Amino acid sequence: MKININGVNYYYEWLSPYEADRLTLVCFHGFTGTSDTFIPTFQKEQDINILAIDLIGHGQTDCYVHPYRYQLDCLCQDIALLTENLGIFQFALLGYSMGARAALGFTCLFPQKVLQLILESGSPGLESKTERMARKRSDEDLAGFIMSRPIEEFVDKWERLSLFDSQKRLPIQTKKTLRQERLSQRPYGLACSLWYMGTGVQPDFWSALANIDIPILLIVGELDPKFQQIAQKMKTKHPVIDIEIVSGAGHCIHLEKPQVFEEVVLTFLSRFTG
């Protein structure tokens, strides 16, 4: 389904039947992803509502809009209006990778709306200006590549990243579906996401962690040491953070170990829903 938020058509999809008296879990996908990425994950009958949203520039949500709409604060304002228009004023929030950065930013901007926060392979950003400038240049170079080459060349390049080595062990059909999802993206949307919402331009949320007064769960893969280290560092800023390390998984746990991921998420949320 689509909904117009200040001139941008956002696509959203209920992954479970909606019931007004249940907790809603809102899901944000990662870079090159769509809301469909969560469909294989949440297969059991749930006692919560699950809402997945195509973030701006991805999937069936508009991409050919003014670039400033890609900025994180604009995206978060759009999501706040989208959920309110659906009658959802408080919810649990789950984000993967880029979506985890967006979810953390949303929680900092709208703390009254988020009841529980789940970050899969997420980061609060880069702390030093030098790191941010270097990443900004890297993101700009990648955006230029995306805009100047066929989408197949970019996807080939993206899939060769060591971050995704563990995905080579996915079932053949899962790999085909994942590749098709990446190939379906529009270059302009991906490039704008990097230019205006990439890690290099993202605000540093490290100092904000201590001020988040809701339960937080970090899910990381055993085969993803970089994000394990980030999770442990985040816990030093917010000691009551829960960390779940999933065996045999890399960066994208919800695709590599969908049943385990589903169980981890639902067990965490059950602590607060009874």
Measured in residues, the chain has a length of 274
The pTM of this model reads: 0.97
β strands within the chain, DSSP E: 2-5, 8-14, 24-28, 49-53, 91-96, 114-120, 216-221, 242-246
Cα separation of 174 and 172, whole Å? 5
List, for the chain, all residue ranges whose pLDDT scores fall below the cut of 50.
none
Q: Cα separations (Å) of 175 from 34, 53, 103, 259?
A: 15, 22, 26, 17
Cα separation of 11 and 1, whole Å? 6
Buried b (16+ CB within 10 A) or exposed e, 176-201: ebbeebbeebbbbbbbbbbbbbbbbb
pLDDT of res. 30:
98
Cα separation of 118 and 214, whole Å? 11
Q: Cα separations (Å) of 210 from 45, 108, 124?
A: 35, 11, 12
What angle separates helix 129-148 from helix 151-159, to the nearest 10 degrees? 140
Q: For residues 143 and 186, is the Cβ–Cβ distance under 8 A? A: no
Q: What is the pLDDT of residues 59-72, one digit of tens each?
A: 999 999 999 999 99
Q: What is the pLDDT of residues 146-174, one digit of tens each?
A: 999 999 999 999 999 999 999 999 999 99
pLDDT of res. 44:
84
pLDDT of res. 46:
84
Task: Tell me the average pLDDT of the chain.
Answer: 97
Cα separation of 269 and 274, whole Å? 9
Give the tokens for residue 27: 């899901």
Nearest by Cα to 195 from 261, 242, 135, 246: 135
Query: Which domains, ranges and CATH numbers included, belong to the chain?
Result: 2-126+202-271 (3.40.50.1820)
pLDDT of res. 197:
96
Q: What is the pLDDT of residues 188-208, one digit of tens each?
A: 999 999 999 999 999 999 999
pLDDT of res. 274:
62
Cα separation of 58 and 37, whole Å? 12
Write out the DSSP string of 164-199: GGGGGGS-HHHHHHHHHHHHTS-HHHHHHHHHHHST
Q: Side-chain half-sphere of 9: how many Cα atoms within 13 Å?
A: 8
Those residues with Cβ within 8 angstroms of residue 211's Cβ, 6 or more apart along the chain or in another chain: 108
Q: For residues 205 and 104, is the Cβ–Cβ distance under 8 A? A: yes
